[in-house]
């Protein structure tokens, strides 16, 4: 057995037993300290998917005791897990599309699903993103294959009622008083906004800002802020919606939204009066602010 001890300043120490706390200290952050030769003021995680956006890297940074931009462990984890994300939204009174959650080791009640939903339904792994493993089930004969596909990516999956709806996205920044940008619209080129569409073919059209009646716009911005607060996000996020007629549903929150200059997140701020350099500046300030004011002190 090897015992490790974490010091209050985020160093690890190998100790001979859990009761003998003397030992050599080392930094577990490979990029920290001597090798880099530079002092890092703040870390800015811009990672996607599991082990990046889900709170794991944020946990590492917490342990290291360094300031960073964006959500903490919990907000990141809730933003990654579609089932708990929806629970948080529901608790905040936000409208979500009808869904149900299954684990791989459960017996999946196929007949019940067919009775309670009507095609198309979306079958999604709970914890992935970038549309990986998602199937749009247009007829029930595709259901079992879709479940299998989703379960090949995660032990937990969602079955969700498919809607014929517009896809609207809204950017949020802030800490305790988050602000929402103008909403934008994604117009998928293929059947749905899938991985190929997002990263390979790139034929999706964006309408920035979205053409929406002011009333709907305001509703979406209000929901975006509530969704941000529901998962206890910090710093920044992009909240995605479905709009069917005048009905708005919250689809998901991304706690590390796409952040290239052509991504929806900064572009929405661009049309809301905050250019890219000012946006980065704000986010860094928010990261420091959270660190100074709201960090949990061990
Ligand atoms: N219930 C639904 N009704 C209609 N279309 C849906 C539904 N769920 C998902 N879609 C379509 O599938 C796309 C991907 O689904 P979703 O946004 O839930 O997951 P994701 O894209 O994998 O997550 P991330 O955006 O974090 O990468 C949506 O953008 C939308 O085009
Ligand atoms: Mg999405």
pLDDT in tens, 116-157: 999 999 999 999 777 889 999 999 999 999 999 999 999 999
- Mean pLDDT check: name the lowest of 31-35, 257-261, 266-270: 31-35
Q: What is the pLDDT of residue 35?
A: 47
SS3 134: coil
On whether the CB atoms of residues 179 and 158 are closer than 8 A, the answer is no
CA of residue 252 to ligand 1 center, whole Å: 8
Query: What is the token pair recorded at 219?
Result: 């509703």
Q: What is the pLDDT of residue 44?
A: 92
Instruction: In the chain, list all ranges with CATH 3.30.470.20.
Output: 77-95+164-293
Instruction: In the chain, list all ranges with CATH 3.30.1490.20.
Output: 99-161
In CATH terms, the superfamily for domain 99-161 is: ATP-grasp fold, A domain (3.30.1490.20)
Which has more confidence, 174 or 63?
174
Q: Tell me the pLDDT band of 63, cut-offs 50, 70 and 90.
A: confident
- Mean pLDDT check: name the lowest of 52-61, 144-153, 212-221: 52-61
> Check: CATH 3.30.470.20 for 77-95+164-293?
yes
Across 220-242, average pLDDT: 98
In the predicted structure, residue 267 carries a pLDDT above the cut 80: yes
CA of residue 125 to ligand 1 center, whole Å: 11
SS3 53: coil
d(CA 92, CA 265): 23
List the strands of the sheet with 135-137, edge to edge.
99-103, 156-161, 121-125, 135-137
- Mean pLDDT check: name the lowest of 198-207, 208-217, 218-227: 198-207
Query: What is the token pair recorded at 280?
Result: 């980065």
Q: Which of 128, 134, 238 to mutate to test the pocket of ligand 1 (most atoms within 8 A of CB)?
A: 134
In the predicted structure, residue 22 carries a pLDDT above the cut 90: no
CA of residue 275 to ligand 1 center, whole Å: 28
């Amino acid at each position: 057995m090897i015992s490790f001890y974490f010091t209050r300043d985020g160093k690890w120490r190998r100790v001979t037993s859990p009761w003998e706390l003397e030992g050599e200290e080392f930094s577990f952050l490979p990029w920290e300290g001597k090798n880099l030769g530079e002092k890092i003021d703040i870390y800015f995680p811009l990672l996607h998917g599991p082990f990046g956006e889900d709170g794991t890297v944020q946990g590492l940074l917490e342990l290291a005791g360094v300031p960073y931009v964006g959500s903490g462990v919990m907000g990141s984890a809730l933003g990654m897990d579609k089932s708990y994300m929806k629970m948080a939204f529901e608790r905040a009174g936000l409208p979500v599309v009808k869904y149900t959650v299954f684990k791989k080791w459960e017996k999946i009640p196929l007949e019940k699903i067919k009775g309670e939903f009507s095609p198309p339904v979306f079958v999604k792994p709970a914890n992935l993103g970038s549309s990986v493993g998602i199937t749009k089930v247009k007829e029930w004969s595709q259901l079992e294959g879709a479940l299998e596909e989703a379960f090949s990516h995660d032990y937990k999956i969602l079955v969700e009622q498919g809607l014929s709806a517009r896809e609207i996205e809204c950017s949020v920044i802030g800490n305790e008083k988050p602000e929402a940008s103008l909403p934008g619209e994604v117009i998928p080129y293929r059947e749905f906004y899938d991985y190929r569409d997002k990263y390979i073919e790139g034929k999706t059209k964006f309408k920035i800002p979205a053409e929406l009646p002011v009333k709907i716009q305001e509703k979406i911005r209000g929901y975006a802020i509530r969704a941000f607060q529901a998962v206890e996000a910090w710093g920044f996020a992009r909240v995605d919606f479905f709009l069917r007629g005048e009905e708005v549903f919250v689809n998901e929150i991304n706690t590390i939204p796409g952040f290239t200059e052509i991504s929806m997140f900064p572009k929405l701020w661009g049309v809301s009066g905050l250019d890219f350099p000012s946006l980065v500046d704000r986010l860094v300030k928010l990261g420091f602010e959270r660190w100074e004011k709201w960090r949990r002190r061990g």
